[in-house]
Amino acid sequence: MRRALLSMLVSVLVACGGSDSGDARPTGPISATGPSAVTPVDSLSFGAEGVCASGGTNVGISAVAVFSADVSNLCSMALANQSKANSRAIMLMVIRGALNTPPGVPPGKYTITQDPTGTTVVTLAAAAVDSTDASCAGTSVDATSGTIWLDSTSGGRVTGAVDAMLADGSHLGGTFDAPACAISLPVADLCAGTWVPPGGTCVP
């Protein structure tokens, strides 16, 4: 998942915008059905914060991410910079930006959208299913609409729910309880819109 993140946040903070909303909340474990079907067996979460500069404007960015994949020992693989061949992962991300200082990502209900919303604090929520082939080459199918609920982002885990439709017609929904993983996402990557740490060694 990549976006022109910094430029979008700056433009909305300067121009001002809308608010978050959401619909019926799903129950049951997180999964995806349809062409991008996946039944996760493990999950992880991580956060990132930093201050990005763009055209003379400093934007503080805070992010919370949840990965749920059909791969065991997900955190250990991530910390070892490994990618699993022939796998699929559900990825959820909520990013908030404000002038000068990272605003944090509190519990709440966040609308999945292609454009950030907000006024003094702007928000971008996104979801996708990423797949790898036998050589770990990746493809991503993004959500076009939906809602992410964050119940808790503290205590060593991120809990909540998601309900979303993907671009290929797949449905993504269910609850998640993702323990924190000590993944480090460089601020430069976050500012550039790279939401996912780069994959390394391909593991069959």
Q: How far is Cα 78 from Cα 24, in angstroms, rounded to an integer?
A: 33
- Tokens representing 135 are 């050589």
How does pLDDT run across 98-135, given as a tens digit for each residue? 988 999 999 999 999 877 777 688 888 999 999 999 99
Question: Rounded mean pLDDT of 152-173?
Answer: 95
More confident site: 140 or 196: 140
State phi, psi for 176 to the nearest 5 degrees.
-140, 150
The answer, yes or no, to whether residue 61 has pLDDT greater than 60, is yes
pLDDT band at 68 (very low <50, low <70, confident <90, very high): very high
pLDDT band at 17 (very low <50, low <70, confident <90, very high): very low
Q: How far is Cα 181 from Cα 110, in angstroms, rounded to an integer?
A: 22
Answer yes or no: are the C-beta atoms of 181 and 64 closer than 8 Å.
Answer: no
The answer, yes or no, to whether residue 4 has pLDDT greater than 80, is no
pLDDT band at 22 (very low <50, low <70, confident <90, very high): very low
Q: How far is Cα 93 from Cα 17, in angstroms, rounded to an integer?
A: 20
Question: Rounded mean pLDDT of 12-20?
Answer: 46
Of 127, 201, 182, 196, the residue nearest 160 (C-alpha): 127
